[in-house]
């Protein structure tokens, strides 16, 4: 067999436009990783959990190691560029760990989330998408259930409002209302 070159389709191989020629792959065992936070200050969680691709990172002196794999090698690194920064995660994270890391990133850069949507007891809801955006009449929040099962969602706002209109069902709701969101169903709310 000849060595494949990037960007050239070789007979007997698949072609991946991003990675170049690749061989058919059968995954028999998915690697997992336990990632331990090392950076000082607030951390996303004592441990993050990865599953799937696990990369090795070769660092320059310009990187800060934020978290490591069990063997001590870098798993999450930070590099500052001008007024910004890049945070690189060398493993695919499990959903809860990804949420923990994003919560930490948002806190670090000062992103204020005006409305969080969680279960009535304050837990995250896998498969429920929610976003709040500014509009002429105040703010719009949508809730979209991307799962096959119904979910119970409660608003946890950090902002105040004179009223909240449920535009989906033409009614007024309380700022801390609870919603039963059916499979693939949505709500659209306007905050005034």
Task: Specify whether the CB–CB gap between 51 and 92 falls below 8 A.
Answer: yes
Q: Where is the domain boundary, 109, 127, 152?
A: 109
Same domain for 42 and 87, yes or no, is yes
184 within a domain of the structure (yes/no): yes
What CA–CA distances, in Å, run from 68 to 18, 64, 82, 184?
28, 11, 25, 38
120 within a domain of the structure (yes/no): yes
CATH number of the domain bearing residue 70: 3.40.50.880
Provide the total of helices (H) and of strands (E) in the chain, helices listed first. Answer: 1, 16
Same domain for 134 and 94, yes or no, is no
| Euclidean distance between CA atoms 145 and 166, whole angstroms | 16
Same domain for 122 and 136, yes or no, is yes
16 within a domain of the structure (yes/no): no
Same domain for 139 and 88, yes or no, is no
User: Domain containing 83: what range?
Assistant: 28-109
CATH number of the domain bearing residue 151: 2.60.40.1180
**Overall pTM surpassing 0.75 (yes/no):** no
23 within a domain of the structure (yes/no): no
Count up the domains in the chain and report the number.
2
Spell out the per-residue pLDDT of the chain, length 192, in tens. Answer: 545 444 444 454 455 455 555 556 665 677 889 999 887 666 677 789 998 888 898 888 889 999 999 999 999 999 998 999 999 999 999 988 998 898 888 888 888 899 999 999 999 999 999 999 999 989 999 999 999 999 999 999 999 888 899 999 999 998 888 999 999 999 999 998
The DSSP line for 78-113 is: EEEETTEEEEEESEEEPHHHHHHHHHHHHHHHT---
DSSP label at residue 76: E
Q: Which residue has the tokens 């090795």?
A: 56
Same domain for 104 and 43, yes or no, is yes
Beta bridge partners of 120: none
Task: Specify whether the CB–CB gap between 76 and 98 falls below 8 A.
Answer: no
Same domain for 36 and 67, yes or no, is yes
- What does the pLDDT look like over 65-100, one tens digit per residue? 999 999 999 999 999 989 999 999 999 999 889 988
Same domain for 44 and 88, yes or no, is yes
Same domain for 119 and 97, yes or no, is no
């Amino acid at each position: 067999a000849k060595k494949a070159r990037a960007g050239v389709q070789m007979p007997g191989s698949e072609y991946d436009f991003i990675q170049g020629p690749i061989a058919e792959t059968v995954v028999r065992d998915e690697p997992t990783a336990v990632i331990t936070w090392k950076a000082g200050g607030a951390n996303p969680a004592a441990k993050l959990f990865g599953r799937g691709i696990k990369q090795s990172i070769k660092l320059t002196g310009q990187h800060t190691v934020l978290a490591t794999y069990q063997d001590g090698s870098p798993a999450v690194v930070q590099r500052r560029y001008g007024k910004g920064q890049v945070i690189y995660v060398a493993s695919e994270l499990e959903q809860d760990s990804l949420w923990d890391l994003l919560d930490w990133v948002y806190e670090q850069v000062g992103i204020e989330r005006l409305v969080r949507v969680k279960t009535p007891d304050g837990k995250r809801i896998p498969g429920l998408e929610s976003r709040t955006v500014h509009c002429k009449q105040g703010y719009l929040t949508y809730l979209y259930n991307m799962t096959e099962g119904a979910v119970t969602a409660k608003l946890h706002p950090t902002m105040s409002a004179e009223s909240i209109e449920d535009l989906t069902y033409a009614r007024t709701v309380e700022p801390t209302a609870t919603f039963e969101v059916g499979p693939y169903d949505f709500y659209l709310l306007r905050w005034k």
